[in-house]
Structure 1
Amino acid sequence: MKFGYQTNTWGGVVGHPAGVTSIKDLFYLTPGSDEEALRDIASAGFTGVELFDGNLVAYRGREDEFRAFLRAGNLSLIAVYSGANFIYDDVLEDEFWRIEEAAKIGETFGAEFLVLGGGAKRHGGPREEDYTKLAQNLDRAAELAQRYGLTALYHPHLGTIVEGPEALEKVMSQSRIGLCPDTAHLAAGGNDVPALIRKYAPRIPYIHLKGLQREPLNFLPLDEDPEMTAIWEAVEEIGFDGWVTVELDAHPDPKAAAARSLRWLQARQAAQPTPAD
């Protein structure tokens, strides 16, 4: 396995304010320093990074600047994170314009994956057709991403119509897209995360690990989550050997939190039995 880190710990998670009146401009953003984030992630010992689409499209016209940040830390860009409502027909074309921009910039910097959140919650609650629309449009996004050499994956998330196991099954059974499980969001949504990893193993080429504190809800470094060991055992059981990215939306000391999570991962790897054992 290879280990990466999401840069959103260095500034948090916001959306571009222009998106309030212009759907096509509603990119995700981390308002911190990308250079600092990549430097700290490399210093902690990670070899890959994931960034929000809005952070990456900001480097249009100055691509060499971001490439220099990657080279300085000997880092690979693993994935671009984007998202959309996916259920409102009238805004789909603008949403797909934005997703295509994310795929284009991902191709520019050599990303492997386009990670997609979404499935809007209506004020009156989800309609059954919303799950079908979401599944169909995720497959459309996967086809779009493929044109730019990226593999698109669905990332279930709190605050969308896909939180619990029944909703996830509705979408996965009606789509072909792969899955990027975010362990904390899935656990908080009522899923048995180890069982889910085993169930969808053939559709999981990339994983987000995030520690969870259930009450009050908070996200943690991996070493603070008592449920993470069982999740990791499931990851090992399915023979996963791709990128694992640690995600932590906020922390008072992002660099130290990243280093702690990597030490936890390395300790799990060191404890894994060899074939001779």
Structure 2
Amino acid sequence: MRLGYHSITWGGVVGEPTGVTSVKDLFYRANGDMQRALRDIAAEGYQGVELFDGNVADFADRPEVLRELLHETGLTLVSVYTGANFIYADSLPDELWRVNRAAELAALFGAEKLVVGGGARRAAGTDDEDYDRLGKSLDTVVDIAERQGLNASYHPHLSTIVESPDELERIMTRSRIGFCPDTAHLAAGGGDPAALIRQYPERIEHVHLKDYRPEPFAFLPLGQGALDFPDILAAVQEAGYDGWLLVELDSYDGDPREAARISKAYLDALLDSSVSR
């Protein structure tokens, strides 16, 4: 398995402000210097990178800049992350337009995977029809990705209608999209990440690794929280998954490169230990 890192740690995530009034423009964006991020990620020994759709879109009119940066660092653009509400009929066409744009850009820069999160929680509450709508939308995302030669996977996420294990089951039975377990979000949603990976082994298309501390709540570099990563990696291997492992840390109180270094050292030691057994 090859190791990659998400650029989110450099600046944290923001949404495109124009998306407040024009849904088609509501890209995610890591609010930092992507050239620094990629150089730091490569310097710490990672082989790949995941970028948000907005950060990739920043290079749409100057693709040679990103291509040269990937060449310089030796990094593979593994995946592009996007998301949407997916449950509102009126805004769905514009949301899917944006997902399609993300898929086109991912393919343009040689990515293998399209990762999506989403499924809005309504102020009035969530009902079963929202899961039906989300499932149908995610099947459309699969179609969009396949047209660009990409594999699509769904990332359960806090603040969406897919947080808990029961909510994950609702969407896994309603859509054929692949599963991208994010270890920290699954744990914070009340699940056991390793058990959920074992529950859906044939659906694993991508993996996000992140540590987690319940009290006080925090996402952390690998090995610094409460998660059982030896068991998580054992579950990933049992599933027959041999693709990219992407470390994704939303923010870090310090140099983001240091966080990447901490997670890489921990993951290298863990993988070496699993190989030697």
TM, length-normalised to structure 2: 0.97
- For 1:217, the aligned partner's letter is F
Which residue does the alignment assign to 1:209?
Answer: 209
Match of 1:89 in 2: 89
Q: How does 1:108-187 map to 2 (within 5 A)?
A: 108-187=108-187
| 2:243 corresponding residue in structure 1 | 242
* Runs of 5+ consecutive residues of structure 2 not aligned to the other structure: none
CA distance in 1, matches of 2:236, 2:145: 26
Alpha-carbon offset, residue 47 of structure 1: 0.3
CA, structure 1 residues 273+33, in 2 after alignment: closer, same or farther (shift >3 Å)?
A: closer
Residue equivalent to 1:15: 15
* Alpha-carbon distance in structure 1 between the residues aligned to 2:93 and 2:237: 40
What per-residue deviation string (whole Å, max 9, x for no partner) do you get for residues 160-181 of structure 1? 0000011110110111110111
TM-score of the pair, normalised by structure 1: 0.97
Say which SS state the counterpart of residue 196 (structure 1) adopts. Answer: helix
CA RMSD of aligned residues (A): 1.0
- Residue 225 of structure 1: CA displacement? 2.2
Q: Find the residue that maps to 1:248 and give its secondary structure.
A: coil
The CA distance in 2 between the partners of 1:88 and 1:29, in whole Å, is 23
Give 3-state SS (helix, strand or coil) of 1:269's partner.
helix
* 1-structure distance, mates of 2:85, 2:201: 26
Measure, in 1, the Cα distance between the counterparts of 2:233 and 2:151.
23
SS of equivalent to 1:106 = helix
Q: Which runs of 4+ in 1 moved over 3 A?
A: none
Distance 1:87 1:238 in 2: 31
In structure 2, give the amino acid aligned to 1:241. D
**CA–CA separation in structure 2 for the residues paired with 1:95 and 1:273:** 43
d(CA) in 2 for partners of 1:221 and 1:273?
22
- 1:192 is displaced (CA, Å) by 1.5
Which residue pairs with 1:101 in the alignment?
Answer: 101
The 2-side partners of 1:226 and 1:135 are apart by 31
Aligned counterpart in structure 1 of residue 256 of structure 2, from 254, 257, 277: 254
Identity of aligned residues (%): 52
Distance 1:272 1:186 in 2: 23
Q: CA deviation at 1:195?
A: 0.7
Query: 1:273: Cα distance to partner?
Result: 4.1
Give the CA deviation at 1:239.
3.2
Match of 1:57 in 2: 57
1:240 deviation in Å?
A: 2.3
Indicate the SS of the match to 1:223.
coil
Count of residues paired in the alignment: 275
**Alpha-carbon distance in structure 2 between the residues aligned to 1:10 and 1:118:** 22
Report if the CA contact (8 A) 2:208-2:248 is conserved.
yes
Q: Please tell me whether the aligned partners of residues 4 and 244 of structure 2 are also in contact (alpha carbons under 8 angstroms).
A: yes
Q: Does 1:233 align with 2:234?
A: yes
Is this contact kept in 1: 2:213–2:226, CA < 8 A? no
CA-to-aligned-CA distance 1:189-246 (integer Å, 9 cap, x gap): 0111111001111110210000101112111000202323322232233232110000
The 8 Å contact of residues 151 and 205 in structure 2, kept in 1 or not, is answered as no
Distance 2:160 2:207 in 1: 19
State the partner residue of 2:80.
80
In the aligned structure 2, how far is the partner of 1:182 from the partner of 1:42? 22
Query: Distance between the aligned counterparts of 1:120 and 1:226, measured in 2?
Result: 28
Q: Structure 1, residues 2-53: CA drift from partner, whole Å, max 9, x if none? A: 0000001001011000011000000001110000000000001000000000
Structure 1 runs not aligned, ≥5 long: none
Q: CA deviation at 1:248?
A: 0.4
